Amino acid sequence: MKNLVLYSFYTIIIAWCCASCAKNVTTVEGNIGSEWSGKTIYLQLINEEKMIPEIIDSTTIHEGHFFFEQQAREPQTALLSIVDQHKAVWTSQFILEKGDIKIIGNEQGGVRISGTPNNELLQEYLNHWYVPFNKMKQISNEVSRLEKVGQLTSAVYDSLDRISSGYMREMRLLALEFVKENINTPAGRSQVMEIVGLPERLLVEIPEKADSVSLRHPLVRQIVKRVNTYNAVAVGKTYQDAIVLDVQNQEAHLSDYMGQGKYVLIDFWASWCKPCCAEMPELKRLYDQYKQQGFEIIGISLEQDKDSWKAKIEELQMDWPQLLDVKEEAARKYVVGAIPHTVLIDPSGVIIAKNLRGKELEEKIAQSIKSND
């Protein structure tokens, strides 16, 4: 009887341990179609510091099915991939986390991810993301078809490319909204790569919403750094000084041209930038009209060819001070993502407007000068 009791006790303990162990297991089971049968599928984790996938397991696909079992770990962005001749021919991103994860392929080449909280959240986002993605894919196929039959003209290509670019923007904005709403989840952080290249003005909410865990993510840290730089030159902030070169190839500072009771327009441009050069006659008109009333322009060119720069200054009769940002120090400090780019600074050194042009710029200059009288 005593042995029976001990046996029952140990049976319960073993069963409890097994159940406990089972809870700490992650399984990934999928069916992606029989056409992949016999291929090796790799399970990879994304190294967040290097932002590269690292293989942790592999298996062979049988009749479209595959199965992985892993010891449970903290949720992490993962990839499944099939490689042919050193090139990935099929991939699927998901979150590797505790639980039973299901990945089912569809006829469009996408997948349905389910089984765990973060993957359900990720799939909800992908349901929306795949709409513009599939439309963009259709355009790509149409371009290939037209090219094959010799009917891809420049006009047709440009038209299709504009439409495709629109879908790409839609995908990035969907990713942005998803990350902003879910930055503090593994699912949300898995999509930061999709938005890290967006303009800083669209990313300002990310640092505000990120918790301590998210702020340790390398790409989130990168966004925080960029947003901080962007905020440092926001309207209402004091201008940032920078070292540049003048037309005599002598070192100069932006601070040399600030103050002196003047409103200063910093105009980032380049001799090769057609939109920049197209705006110069209007800038010259404003300069001639308001220079005696306390208005100054500082041209900062982003190029290496000094001869082309000087020739364009002479050609366009740009009579205001011209500087060369060879090391792009000023461009970095003022977060110049594209040119032309303008920054209007008041006599006290405070930024009062950015990227105004034409009528809006003239109205701001006239209003500012009048209010300063």
Q: Convert the pLDDT of each residue in 158-172 to its tens digit.
A: 999 999 999 999 999
Token pair of 197 as six digits: 């290249």
Helix axes 274-290, 358-372, angle to 10 degrees: 30
What is the percent of the chain with per-residue pLDDT over 70, rounded to a whole number?
93
Token pair of 55 as six digits: 């293989």
pLDDT by residue for the chain (373 residues), tens digit each? 444 444 454 444 444 444 434 468 999 999 999 899 999 999 999 998 888 999 999 999 999 999 999 998 899 999 999 998 888 889 999 999 999 999 998 766 678 999 999 999 999 999 999 999 999 999 999 999 999 999 999 999 999 999 999 999 999 999 999 999 999 999 999 999 999 989 999 999 999 999 999 999 999 999 999 999 999 999 999 999 999 999 999 999 999 998 788 999 999 999 999 999 999 999 999 999 999 999 999 999 999 889 999 999 999 999 999 999 989 999 999 999 899 999 999 999 999 999 998 899 999 999 998 887 6
pTM of this structure: 0.79
CATH topology of domain 243-372: Glutaredoxin (3.40.30)
Nearest to 65 by CA among 35, 89, 88: 35
DSSP conformation letters of 21-46: HHHTEEEEEEE--GGGTT-EEEEEEE
**Domain range annotation of the chain:** 2-112, 121-232, 243-372
The CA radius of gyration of the chain, in Å to the nearest whole number, is 29
**CATH 3.40.50.2000, domain 2-112, yes or no:** no
